[in-house]
Structures are given as C-alpha cells and as structure tokens.
C-alpha cells in the first residue's frame, strides 16, 4: 500500500516535482488498474443481483450544495476542494457520492420509489495524507431511497456480506443507531451531542488520553470525558447482553426498537453483525441505522465499508418538510484492493492479453489471424513495431502473456500455426479453429 503524492525527497533532476502527479493523487499503472477493474466487476455483479441500477453524477457540484447544513458537516467541508468558474460561480469537487445523490433525487421528483442505485466514481478530500490515505480516491456506493423499513437497511447489510464473501475477505460488520447513541448521550447528560459524536467516533482509533483531551478541547470537563469513556468501555460484550442492558437504562426506545427489528430481519439473510453503540460515523446527516465493515485479517484492519440511514437530507434538498427516507453504504475500493493484494486474493497482472501473434515475414496475414481470435473473444496482440523473433518473445514474456503464436510462411501454407504455452514451453501445431477452441 502506497502513500499518496510524488515524493520530493525521492525526486531527481530527470523527474522534478513539477512533472509529478498532484500532491495526494495517485497513478494506477496497468498492473494495478486491471485488478481494480476486476474488483469493480465483482462489486457490480453483487449490486445488480439485488436489483440496484447504475447512476453517474458530475465531479463538480455547486459549493452551496456541498456546504448546505444538511450535507456533510463542518469537518468534511474544511477538506472540500473549491474553485470558481469563469462566471465567478463557486464550485466544489464532491467529497462523497451521497450528497450528489440527494441533489439528483431532489431534482427528479418523477423517479419511482424505492430508487435503488449504485455509483462507482472518484471523490476528493483535501485532508491529511498518509499510508493508504489519498486526496483523490474511489467510492463504490449503493443506496435505497424511498423506504423507511428496516428491510431496506437489512438488504444493504446483506449486500455488504455477500460482497466480502465473494471476494474472500474476512470482515466484521458493526452496527449502531444514531437515535440510540443520542439516547445514551441523554443518559450521560451530554447536551452538545454533535461535538461529542465526532469524538466518540474516534474511540477505537485514538488512545484514552487523546480521547479525553479532545473532549476537553471542545469545552467538556475531564470528568464528563472520563464518564463517557467509562460507559462505552464497560458495556457488555455480547449483542443480546448489550441490548438487555441498554433497554434497562434508556428512556428513549425508538433507536433500540429499530436495532432490534434490524437484527431480526438480517438473521433471515444469515448475516452476522456486532452491535457497537459507540459507532458514530461523524457525518452529521445520519439519522438512524449506522454500520461499518472492518477487515479482520492481514495488514489492513481499518474500515473497508460504511454507511447508514439518512432520512432528512433529501427532503431538505427539496426544500420540503416531507421526509424522503434513504439508506446506503460506501465501499472503499482502494482499501479493499490493497487488502486483497496483501492477502494474495488478487494477483496483479500487466495485461489481459491472452495470446501474442508473432509475424515472421507475414505482417498482413498475422493481422487477419489476430482479428479472427478477437472475433472469438480472445484478447490478442500482434507485433506493431517490426521487432525480431527474440525481442517479441521477450516482450510477451515481460507482460506475462500466457500464449504465443508463431505465424511464418511455412505455417500458413500448412494451415497450422505453432502455439507456444509460455509457462511450460510446450509447442503444438494447430489450426486457427483448434487454437480458438483450446484458448476459450
């Protein structure tokens, strides 16, 4: 896994910073991009198996859309890239795919609900950089708009479970509820809930002293910070034990009941989750269910997906008091890719080409052979540089192309071409029809 941006310390006169990529951005060479597209294909297959449809939205949004009070909140707004167009209109690069979806729904009242969409696109955040943390990154989102039932939330969790099962990644799905968390904060006599939630969201990411210090920096007393920490540290471990305990101490039961219903439905999907009341996900637009998925094996143990229910945002975009319920999850493509590579579940390769045709004084004929192979659905390359036999073999070998065809005049006259398996070195004379049959 790489840190983002060109390294000035590693630059040379031949590669000056001015010709490197922008800070916080990454190039994806073919060896990585092929695997990423394979991953995207797997995600799409699962999404569409549940009836979700593709949507695309502009990278640039009006800044007033991104900065609206019902969007991502002050913390994320501070990381928003902004610019002006020639008309002096202020624009911003989208920092997630949820706000553009809300804007799209608000602009298209004719849509039939539930509207189930997925979007796989780039987003940008001008925040701190580090190992695996870039300023430009991909998100893969699915959202169901128009259903207030916990059935929609359960389906989202079932999709997440199916995705990681198919990819072969061991994960833990953690679930909470924003209403439940608010009820806990009421129990703890916390009035500035938004400030508290942003810090509670970091509970497993920072040590206890830092946790307390951040509360104090927001104006909370040390005693209050220690009380919050003690409450969450001392919660029972099992799901049912947590539910039983919270049922006894909380006055507001709405979030509690929603969580109980959700657990009952996802049991039908045979999806296992861990209840984590402290799970907050800092974005201010979440209104009910919250979930986050963590990789549990390998070097990458951070969040690989997360989301929740946001029932107020779209209605606010419409300027309406009518609530438009919505729930969704975002998959972190970059982290999932890195996790798969780390665990050798995905092996990077330089090309998708399956066979390389080497012309030996038969340039025109080799083009025809290549066209027949492509027409049969076999990714094929042929020499376009006029290289000799050994250089063409070296080229095919360097890219890991598994098969080579030698197309000499003698082979063409006999009606059989020499096919070499590059892994074993074995060679056979075959007709084009037989080659197509064996390679497919």
Mean pLDDT of 233-260: 89
Query: Domain check: are 323 and 288 in the same one?
Result: yes
Q: Is residue 133 part of a domain?
A: yes
| pLDDT at residue number 132 | 64
Taking only the tens place, the pLDDT of each residue in 349-379 is: 999 999 999 999 999 999 999 999 999 999 9
| pLDDT at residue number 388 | 94
Query: Domain check: are 310 and 253 in the same one?
Result: yes
Query: Domain check: are 90 and 168 in the same one?
Result: yes
Residues sharing a CB contact under 8 Å with residue 371, sequence separation 6 or more, in sequence order: none
CATH number of the domain residue 412 falls in = 3.40.50.800
Query: Domain check: are 243 and 378 in the same one?
Result: no
The H-or-E segment that residue 159 falls in is helix 150-167
283: number of Cβ within 10 Å? 24
| pLDDT at residue number 73 | 60
| pLDDT at residue number 319 | 75
- For residue 8, what pLDDT band results from cuts at 50, 70 and 90? very low
CATH number of the domain residue 85 falls in = 3.30.930.10
Q: Is residue 3 part of a domain?
A: no
Q: Which of 342, 368, 393 is the last residue of a domain?
A: 342
User: Which residue did the predictor score with more confidence, 138 or 301?
Assistant: 138
Q: Are 292 and 202 in contact (CB under 8 A)?
A: no
The H-or-E segment that residue 380 falls in is strand 380-382
Mean pLDDT of 140-160: 97
Query: Domain check: are 362 and 244 in the same one?
Result: no
Q: Is residue 300 part of a domain?
A: yes
Taking only the tens place, the pLDDT of each residue in 30-86 is: 999 999 999 999 999 999 999 999 999 999 999 988 887 665 566 778 899 999 999
Query: Domain check: are 94 and 35 in the same one?
Result: yes
| pLDDT at residue number 17 | 52
Q: State what percent of residues in the chain have pLDDT above 70.
A: 93
Its domain, for residue 319, covers 17-342
Mean pLDDT of 178-187: 92
Q: Is residue 348 part of a domain?
A: no
How many domains are there within the chain? 2
- Output the CA–CA distances (angstroms, integers) from residue 435 to 248, 333, 432, in the order listed: 71, 37, 5
Taking only the tens place, the pLDDT of each residue in 422-438 is: 999 999 999 999 999 99
Q: State what percent of residues in the chain have pLDDT above 90.
A: 65
Query: Domain check: are 280 and 390 in the same one?
Result: no
| pLDDT at residue number 121 | 94
| pLDDT at residue number 250 | 86
| pLDDT at residue number 318 | 74
Taking only the tens place, the pLDDT of each residue in 376-421 is: 999 999 999 999 999 999 999 999 999 999 999 999 999 999 999 9
Query: Domain check: are 246 and 117 in the same one?
Result: yes
Q: Which of 318, 342, 366 is the last residue of a domain?
A: 342
Q: Is residue 152 part of a domain?
A: yes
**Res 3 pLDDT > 80:** no
Query: Domain check: are 279 and 387 in the same one?
Result: no
Query: Domain check: are 102 and 163 in the same one?
Result: yes
Q: Is residue 157 part of a domain?
A: yes
Q: Is residue 162 part of a domain?
A: yes
Residues sharing a CB contact under 8 Å with residue 136, sequence separation 6 or more, in sequence order: 4, 24, 25, 26, 122, 123, 124
User: Which residue did the predictor score with more confidence, 128 or 136?
Assistant: 136
Task: Quote helix, strand, coil % in the chain, to nearest 5.
Answer: 40, 20, 40
The answer to whether the peptide bond before residue 114 is cis (omega within 30 degrees of 0) is yes
- For residue 207, what pLDDT band results from cuts at 50, 70 and 90? confident
Q: Is residue 5 part of a domain?
A: no
- For residue 205, what pLDDT band results from cuts at 50, 70 and 90? confident
Mean pLDDT of 140-144: 96
Nearest Cα to 338, choosing from 304, 296, 291?
Answer: 304
Query: Domain check: are 32 and 131 in the same one?
Result: yes
Q: Which of 293, 310, 342 is the last residue of a domain?
A: 342
* pLDDT mean across residues, the chain: 90
Mean pLDDT of 14-26: 70
Query: Domain check: are 52 and 190 in the same one?
Result: yes
Nearest Cα to 196, choosing from 209, 204, 185, 205?
Answer: 185
């Amino acid at each position: 896994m790489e840190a983002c941006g060109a390294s000035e310390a590693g630059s040379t006169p031949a590669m000056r910073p001015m010709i490197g990529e922008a800070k916080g951005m990454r190039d994806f060479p073919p060896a990585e991009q092929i695997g990423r597209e394979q991953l995207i294909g797997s995600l799409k297959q699962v999404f569409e198996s549940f009836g979700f449809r593709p949507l695309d939205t502009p990278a640039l949004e009006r800044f007033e859309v991104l900065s609206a009070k019902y969007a991502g909140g002050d913390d994320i707004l501070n990381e928003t890239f902004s610019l002006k167009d020639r008309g002096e209109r202020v624009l911003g690069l989208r920092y997630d795919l949820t706000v553009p979806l809300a804007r799209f729904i608000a602009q298209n009242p004719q849509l039939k609900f539930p509207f189930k969409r997925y979007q796989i696109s780039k987003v940008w955040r001008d925040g701190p950089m580090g190992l695996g943390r870039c300023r430009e990154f991909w998100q893969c989102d699915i959202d169901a708009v128009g259903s207030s039932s916990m059935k929609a939330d359960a389906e989202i969790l079932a999709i997440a479970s199916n995705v990681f099962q198919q990819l072969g990644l061991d994960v833990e799905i953690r679930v909470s509820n924003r209403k439940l968390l608010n009820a806990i904060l009421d129990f703890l006599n916390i009035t500035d809930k938004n400030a508290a939630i942003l810090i509670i969201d970091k509970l497993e990411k920072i040590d206890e002293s830092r946790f307390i210090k951040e509360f104090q920096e927001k104006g909370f007393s040390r005693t209050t910070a220690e009380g919050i920490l003690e409450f969450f540290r001392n919660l029972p471990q099992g799901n049912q034990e947590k539910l039983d305990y919270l049922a006894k101490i909380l006055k507001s039961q709405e979030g509690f009941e929603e969580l109980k219903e959700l657990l009952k439905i996802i049991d039908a999907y045979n999806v296992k989750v861990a209840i984590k009341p402290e799970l907050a996900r800092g974005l201010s637009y979440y209104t009910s269910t919250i979930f986050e998925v963590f990789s549990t094996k390998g070097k990458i143990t951070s969040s690989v997906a997360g989301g929740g229910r946001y029932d107020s945002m779209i209605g606010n975009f419409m300027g309406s008091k009518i609530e438009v319920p919505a729930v969704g999850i975002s998959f972190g493509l970059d982290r999932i890719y890195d996790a798969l590579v780390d665990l050798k579940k995905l092996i990077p390769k330089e090309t998708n080409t399956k066979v390389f045709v080497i012309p030996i004084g038969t340039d025109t004929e080799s083009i025809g052979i290549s066209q027949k192979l492509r027409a049969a659905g076999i990714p094929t390359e042929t020499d376009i540089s006029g290289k000799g036999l050994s250089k063409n073999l070296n080229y095919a070998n360097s890219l890991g192309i598994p098969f080579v065809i030698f197309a000499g005049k003698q082979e063409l006259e006999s009606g059989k071409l020499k096919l070499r398996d590059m892994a074993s070195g074995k060679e056979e004379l075959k007709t084009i029809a037989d080659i197509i049959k064996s390679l497919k």
